[in-house]
Amino acid sequence: MSAATRRAFSGKPSTSPNIAMSASSVSIPVGTATQDPGLLVPDAATFLVGAEARRMLLVSALFGAVFLVLADLVARLVIAPSELPVGVLTALVGGPLFLVMLRRERRERRQRRVA
């Protein structure tokens, strides 16, 4: 058994998990700056046009493109000479919408359980 394996199973705290956790917590927001539209736009498309795949795919693509173009436009105009990252703006819009969707899903589950 190697020394690293013994340390991992000895129960003593190691710095490796802390380094890995710090690296992932920094790299995920930087690498996926516009993740919110990818999560929210398909659900919004389903809400608007139903679950028919053909129409949902078209509406999803159009709504996602329009959302990102508008987010980029607003991000460029908010603090005019400099530029706000688009990911910050999509997170400000997407975070609360994601929480609303979670709340709606919980409410629907409770109603299904009661019925």
Q: What is the mean pLDDT of each run of 10 residues along the chain (115 residues)?
A: 57 61 63 68 84 86 89 87 82 83 85 80
One-letter amino acid of 59: V
Q: Is the pTM of this model over 0.75?
A: no
How confident is the model at residue 30, as a pLDDT?
Answer: 58
**pLDDT score, position 92:** 83
pLDDT of residue 106: 87
- What's residue 62's pLDDT? 92
Per-residue pLDDT at 27: 62
